Chains A and B, each alone.
Chain A
Amino acid sequence: MANNSTSLEARKLELWYRNFQALRDISMAIPRNQITAIIGPSGCGKSSLLRCFNRMNDLIPGSRVKGEVLFDGRNIYAADVDPTEVRYRIGMVFQKPNPFPKSVFENVAFGPRVNGLADNLEEIVEHALQRAALWDEVKDRLHKSAMELSGGQQQRLCIARTLALEPEVILMDEPCSALDPVATLKIEDLMRTLAGEYSIVIVTHNMQQAARVSDMAAFMMMEQDRAGVLVEYGPTARLFTNPKDKRTEDYITGRFG
């Protein structure tokens, strides 16, 4: 049931890309101000599920969604909901750092600008960069190209860019897969800091990362017809020490490929 401790909730969610069913019967409640990790083998639909949460799948021609995703008690797929508003309130960080070819400042200011929040931009940008633990590293080069930052800094810039809109939920699609271990740990640390104020959903290939960083963990798999299903969902500590489903056990102990 959606209540105050639930931020997002998928109900009997199904996703198709033309004739191919990518997700089947996904029901899960994302807790508010906690980190939820989604793990599973390649192609199990975990990224597709993540993109259902901010309607990014709408951009893919031929995609269709059935079921509901409740956000603040409202179905984000209802006819009167504008996907632009959904994405404004639910941020997303991608697998490869994708700063725009603009200055550091303009990258962070981008979201507020397109959404018509151009007042106190300086303040918003500084605040967001501070939240993303990047301010000290870039405060002297705000107007230089974001492309000159290191990979880890670029990814934190992308997080800052999202934070500038003060979203309620941040979706992260394998945010560390292109980063070295130190940059990865910095992002994980940042995620833990942000957790108390934002609901974070992270898709990751790295089980240890999911175990380290998340409060709740979901394991997904694909069925015979390659449709992704949710196998098991529960508190991270429980899922990684004592999974209930044999398929989860086999996957996380590496007895399954």
Chain B
Amino acid sequence: MRNGSAFKRHLKLRKIKGGLFSTLFLGSTLVGTLVLIVLLADVLRDSAGWLDWQFLTSYPSRKPEEAGLLSAFFGSLWVMMFTALFSFPVGIGTAIYLEEYAPDNRLIRLIQMNISNLAGVPSIVYGLLGLSLFVQALALGRSILAGAMTLTLMSLPVIIIAAQEAIRSVPEAHRLGAFALGSTRWQVVRRIVLPSAFPGVLTGTILAMSRAIGEAAPIIAISALVYLTYIPTNPLDRFTVLPIQIFNWVSRPQEDFQHLAAAGIIVLLVVLLSMNAVAIFLRNRYQKRTEE
């Protein structure tokens, strides 16, 4: 006969433990969420009354009531456009090479390891690299192009790793099936791997872009310009970006500039969230299409 009372006692203990841990994990989740809510509430309160049309359509100014972030907004837009243009093809190409073509040897493993490590390198280091490589060595000056190239360098490891993950998640059985039908490797990549991996690659890229648009450090390193009173019209123009503008406002002593900074943060957040929304939208759309 089994000892029923011992079992019941033990069961009670197990249930208590289960409850304890589920509460603990709920607590961890709430910490993050609560902090985010407090932050948003604080920023929203600070920006109240400052986020208006005038703010969006004006250039920076010494007078808080006349200041706006028009040049920074367009600067960010320019830089992001070029960053995406550079990093997406290079990133996906690298990932395809590493996953589908590269032999399994020491050199490739070394490259792989370096890519993983680069993803963890502080962004200011990329800024310094961009300064000496693009701004000075390639003589691009403190231009949009130099900024975009710097951010490209920074985003690439993340994009490559995300794309590799997406490519790896394509079932091997599909590749083998395509090979068995007489496909060449490129046909397998083009017709089987890329369509399946695309949503994942896209999501990874947009998330890397979102990180890049919020970066101030590398841009400060190459272009400390803050008072820009025109919208850049070509890639070699000087520029500024949203995070730098916000940083500049925050570091001023006057109370009103703090309100401007808060309003700038709201704009930045909206841009970020829209990019994430686009990522989610595209992923869902492509997922549906490939499943059909």
Contacts and interface: CB of A to CB of B under 8 A. Distances in A.
Q: Do A and B bind each other?
A: yes
Interface of A: 54, 56, 59, 61, 84-85, 87-88, 91-92, 94, 96, 98-103, 110-111, 113-115, 144-145, 147, 158, 161-162, 165
Given A61-B104, A100-B177, A158-B177, A114 B182 contact: yes
B178 interface: yes
Contacts of B196: 101
Nearest to A100: B174
B287 to A, nearest CB: 10
Nearest to A111: B181
Contacts of B290: 101-102
A38 to B, nearest CB: 17
Nearest to B196: A101
Interface residues of B, number: 22
B291 interface: yes
A56 B174 contact: no
A92 B182 contact: no
Given A61-B103, A98-B171, A110-B191, A165 B182 contact: yes
B57 interface: no
Nearest to A85: B182
Interface of B: 103-104, 171, 173-174, 176-184, 187, 191-192, 195-196, 290-292
Contact of B178 (A61, A100, A103): A100
A56 B178 CA distance: 11
Contacts of B180: 54, 56, 87, 91-92, 94, 162
B184 A84 contact: yes
A226 to B, nearest CB: 23
Which 8 pairs show the lowest CB-CB distances between chains A and B? Answer: A88-B182, A98-B173, A92-B180, A111-B181, A98-B177, A114-B183, A87-B182, A114-B187
B178 A114 contact: yes
A113 B195 CA distance: 16
B173 A96 contact: yes
Contacts of A115: 181-182
Given A94-B177, A110-B191, A114-B191, 17 more contacts: A56-B180, A59-B179, A61-B103, A61-B104, A87-B179, A88-B182, A94-B173, A98-B171, A98-B177, A100-B174, A100-B177, A101-B291, A114-B178, A114-B181, A114-B187, A115-B182, A162-B181
